[in-house]
Structure 1
Amino acid sequence: MLDLIKKIRSIHVMVVVVLLLIGTVIKFSPWQNAGKSGKLIAWDVTSYYAYLPATFIEKDIRLTFVEKDSTFYHEHQMYWPETAPNGSKVIKTTMGLSFLYSPFFFVADAIDDDSSKARGFSETFEFWLVISSLFFTILGAIFLRSFLLKHFTDHVVSLTLISIYFGTNLFYYITVEPLMPHAYNFFLISLFLYFTDRWHNCSTFRNSLVIGLTLGLITLIRPVNGVVLLFFLTYQLEGITKFKNRLKLFYEKLPLLLVISLAAMLMLLPQLIYWKSLTGQFIYNSYSGEQFFFTNPHIIDGLFSYRKGWLLYTPIMIFGLIGLGLSIKNRISSLIVLVPTVYIMFSWWNWWYGGSFGCRPIIDFYPILAIGLGSLLSKALETKWSKFSTLSIFGLLICFNLFQTLQKKSDAIHWESMTKEAYWHNFLHRYPQPGYQEKLHHPDIEKAKQGFDEY
């Protein structure tokens, strides 16, 4: 059996993974809730998406049309703008995700018979946006596989892909809430890792341009994700001698580093122009009343709590973290990204990130953690006993993740109010059990915004 697993080719595994993901999306058909409770274009996605219908359907990026019937737009979760000090209506999130939505939005706009009524929020639009998520999921799998093959054997890459796509909450954000940014960011960071490796082996103008544009788009979707630049700067850095050589390399390649910088700025320019035209400022904080509390990070809660602990709801990533310690060449570059990312992530006032399954912002960095999984699997497959035990554990954790995905979809795992009592009350139950609601503890939003514990 183990020898058979070793013969499986990663290209075949990738195709099967993609087909299973597509099949699951078709089974769930999340776009069918358009215009109803549970629709995809809602909450955060409303803001990520708002740039497109406002610009190309309403022809009014200033959102003055919202003021004519603000109750209608608010109740239907179509636009939730913030009001700037000068009175302008500003879309809360940055526009990066709209760039990736846009080709599929234009297809939907061209074929939707109900566009004049739904104004860009019909089932047709949701369907084509789901197609966009699947499209970038496929690209993410292609580039992640290509990157991992530069570091691991083909069968290790196969097992890593299976673990990432089915053993983590990435599966949930591809199949249940596909319009959230995580599948898109997963693709972009996979692309960034792939071209980082190419650049360090072949520093060309083309590779520099792609890295810069990708870095800019990563930052435009979620500004704090720009920390991934550190991976490029420290890629395969092993010691002080390599550090000196790296500085020498960057000095020699200064023109190409300038290309990277200018390309990244080019991607950010539309956002700066948008903010300047509406608020009078090139840099505008649209998250009024929300902030980071860097002196009171909730790192332990973010990693282990029943409310939203990353490693509780995605335990397979414990092995990803362990594996990073085994990755000699990529240990520094991975940890120098992940350590500040975790600190910043859990310093946000809403460290549990609202309604979500597990810790969702860390999903963006799973391509880096795939290095850790690959390193651990490489070591584990060296002996027959460790092969069997590791594959058994991984198999159980993948099944556990898939079951918890169904629990979350059925509300047996609450989106933000889980407690120890509630978790174990529904443990291994697909649907919520009687008495479950009484065991939940809803967060105190106002306390959290002031930097206090949400309990």
Structure 2
Amino acid sequence: MRERRHRMALLAAWAGVLLLLFRPQLHGMDTVAYYAWLRSAVIQGSLDVSDEFARFGYLSERGRSPTGYRINEWPVGTALLWSPFFLAAHLLVRIANGLGIPIPADGYSAPYLALTALGSALYALLGLELLRRMAGRVVPPAAACWGTITAGLASPLVFYMSAHPLMAHAVDFFVNALFLREWAGSPPAGLRSRFRLGLIGGLAASVRYQNATLVLWPALEDLGHLARAPREGLARLLGFGLGAGIGFLPQMIVWRVVFGSWIVGNPYAVAGAGSFDWRSPHFFDVLFSTDRGLFVWTPIAVFALIGLIGPLRELQPAWARLALAQWLAQVYLVGSWSAWSGAAAFGPRLLIGLVPAFGLGLAALFEAVRRRWGLRPVVALSLAAIAWNLVLLARYGMQDVPRMGPVPLEELWLGQLTFPLRVLGHWERILQALQRRY
């Protein structure tokens, strides 16, 4: 009964967010680029995305690749995971047309956008449930539930699974949670489990290229095992490598067709959209900058990190090591990129893949607090963090804070206290925003 109650609490939180904030809209270059792969392949039977970029006014910014295709440097994995929802919409539209209901079967009409966006939201829910169950293996259900809900609602994930679901970030969160769950739950010596883990890791890298860091840690494990038990270690390494190759193969096929090469080192550089400096000059900016820095925009991440370093390391040292290694790798990688802030973004969106690790850290920390002081401080911290994030989300939506660029710290933090007092003067705008779905 308690397990069921916590599952229902998570579902209720997710549904409540969607009822208020769900916006299945294509706006901004990134959403068009991710969606273009899917719409072009299904509706036009091609990987040339000229029609999609032209429809939304981005064609003049898009050149041609060496093979003659319109350049689209964004990865293809999100479109693959969206495809069941898009195809379901296509089928429903065809049925409606057969019944005399005139809905355009063009990939742009409302059913396509609504079901594809709902797919992102459902992947977020699946990721949260995976995280809750995983946390429940090391802490009691209450701490696991509160840690999971806080990780979801007090981070940028809540925005990208509801108000901006046609970005890749909700899917990114899901594949990271799935990878973490598979790594923690499978016998490391099993060839099938290693293959599955590699498959998920390869798919994750085709959702967001930076997820390639995920495959480093199992590969290092297998290399270490290779030195101790060569035959078994080699089998593990081959199984993992084969799975990763198959998981990433769709991206390689797209690269081969569009760019003429199976491997493209930095697809964004092809379009002149970003470069890397491996000294990671923005490592600390990613954490502390007022331009979407993790600890500045998402303060609960500080508590999550404390949970990873302390309580989780005592409960599950291997989990803590993997989570911290991935955390450092992601901050380093994002800090190496010239577009490290994510440009127009609600919070540190480029680090949403770390939300599963932060959920585990919060669950472990909440359990340590509960054992010492009871559940009330846990609930208070969780609700305060969620309220902070939702107020910030409202301010972002109403442009009380700029959509991109640095925000003075006093304006960002003090505004969190004054905005609820000022919001009464904007209630008409808020009601209009909540009613607008398309």
Output the TM-score relative to the length of structure 1: 0.80
Q: In structure 2, what residue type is equivalent to 1:252?
A: E
SS at match of 1:57: helix
Residues 1:279 and 2:279 aligned together: no
CA-CA distance at 1:26 after TM superposition: 2.7
- The CA distance in 2 between the partners of 1:246 and 1:433, in whole Å, is 64
Give 1:165's aligned residue: 152
Give 2:246's aligned residue: 266
Give 1:4's aligned residue: none
Q: CA 1:180 to 1:123, structure 2 compared with 1: closer, same or farther past 3 Å? A: same
> Do the aligned residues in 1 keep the contact of 2:36 with 2:49 (CA within 8 Å)?
no
Deviations, residues 84-115 of structure 1 (Å, cap 9, x unaligned): 24543232212111111100111111223599
> Do the aligned residues in 2 keep the contact of 1:9 with 1:158 (CA within 8 Å)?
no
Residues 1:21 and 2:7 aligned together: no
Q: CA 1:188 to 1:80, structure 2 compared with 1: closer, same or farther past 3 Å? A: farther
1:54 to 28, 31, 40: 40
- The CA distance in 2 between the partners of 1:82 and 1:115, in whole Å, is 35
Output the TM-score relative to the length of structure 2: 0.83
1:252 to 232, 237, 245: 232
Give 1:446's aligned residue: none
Q: Which runs of 5+ in 1 are unaligned?
A: 1-7, 32-38, 238-242, 435-455
> Do the aligned residues in 2 keep the contact of 1:217 with 1:268 (CA within 8 Å)?
yes
Q: In structure 2, what residue type is equivalent to 1:325?
A: I
Q: Number of matched residues?
A: 407
> Do the aligned residues in 1 keep the contact of 2:300 with 2:385 (CA within 8 Å)?
yes
- The CA distance in 2 between the partners of 1:286 and 1:353, in whole Å, is 16
SS at match of 2:279: coil
Q: CA 1:65 to 1:109, structure 2 compared with 1: closer, same or farther past 3 Å? A: same
Residues 1:147 and 2:134 aligned together: yes
- The CA distance in 1 between the partners of 2:151 and 2:3, in whole Å, is 13
- The CA distance in 2 between the partners of 1:208 and 1:265, in whole Å, is 12
Q: In structure 2, what residue type is equivalent to 1:73?
A: R
- The CA distance in 2 between the partners of 1:233 and 1:277, in whole Å, is 29
Q: In structure 2, what residue type is equivalent to 1:95?
A: V
Q: CA 1:381 to 1:19, structure 2 compared with 1: closer, same or farther past 3 Å? A: closer
- The CA distance in 2 between the partners of 1:64 and 1:245, in whole Å, is 48
Q: Which moved more, 1:389-398 or 1:114-123?
A: 114-123
Give 1:35's aligned residue: none
Give 1:128's aligned residue: 115
Give 1:382's aligned residue: 371
> Do the aligned residues in 1 keep the contact of 2:188 with 2:194 (CA within 8 Å)?
no
Q: In structure 2, what residue type is equivalent to 1:404?
A: L
- The CA distance in 2 between the partners of 1:416 and 1:118, in whole Å, is 35
Deviations, residues 117-152 of structure 1 (Å, cap 9, x unaligned): 573122111100122112212221222122212222
Q: CA 1:11 to 1:231, structure 2 compared with 1: closer, same or farther past 3 Å? A: farther
Deviations, residues 263-287 of structure 1 (Å, cap 9, x unaligned): 2111222222222233322223431
1:373 to 362, 365, 368: 362
Residues 1:295 and 2:283 aligned together: no
Give 1:184's aligned residue: 171
Q: Which runs of 5+ in 2 are unaligned?
A: 426-438
Give 2:341's aligned residue: 352
Q: In structure 1, what residue type is equivalent to 2:308?
A: L
SS at match of 2:267: coil
1:308 to 292, 305, 311: 292
Identity among equivalent positions (%) equals: 24
Instruction: Give the structure, 1 or 2, with the largest relative contact order (CA under 8 Å, sep 6 or more).
Output: 2
Measured on the aligned residues, the alpha-carbon RMSD in Å equals 3.0
> Do the aligned residues in 1 keep the contact of 2:225 with 2:233 (CA within 8 Å)?
no
> Where is the helix percentage greater, Structure 1 or Structure 2?
2
Q: In structure 1, what residue type is equivalent to 2:320?
A: R
Give 2:428's aligned residue: none
Q: Which moved more, 1:371-380 or 1:80-89?
A: 80-89
SS at match of 2:416: coil
Give 1:395's aligned residue: 383
Give 2:321's aligned residue: 332
- The CA distance in 2 between the partners of 1:381 and 1:152, in whole Å, is 11
- The CA distance in 1 between the partners of 2:220 and 2:7, in whole Å, is 29
- The CA distance in 2 between the partners of 1:250 and 1:378, in whole Å, is 40
Q: CA 1:349 to 1:395, structure 2 compared with 1: closer, same or farther past 3 Å? A: same
1:73 to 55, 70, 92: 55
- The CA distance in 2 between the partners of 1:416 and 1:363, in whole Å, is 17
Q: Which moved more, 1:277-286 or 1:175-184?
A: 277-286
Q: In structure 2, what residue type is equivalent to 1:53?
A: R
Give 1:450's aligned residue: none
SS at match of 2:371: coil
Give 1:93's aligned residue: 74
Q: CA 1:63 to 1:140, structure 2 compared with 1: closer, same or farther past 3 Å? A: closer
CA-CA distance at 1:424 after TM superposition: 5.4
SS at match of 1:381: helix
CA-CA distance at 1:395 after TM superposition: 2.5
Q: CA 1:63 to 1:303, structure 2 compared with 1: closer, same or farther past 3 Å? A: closer
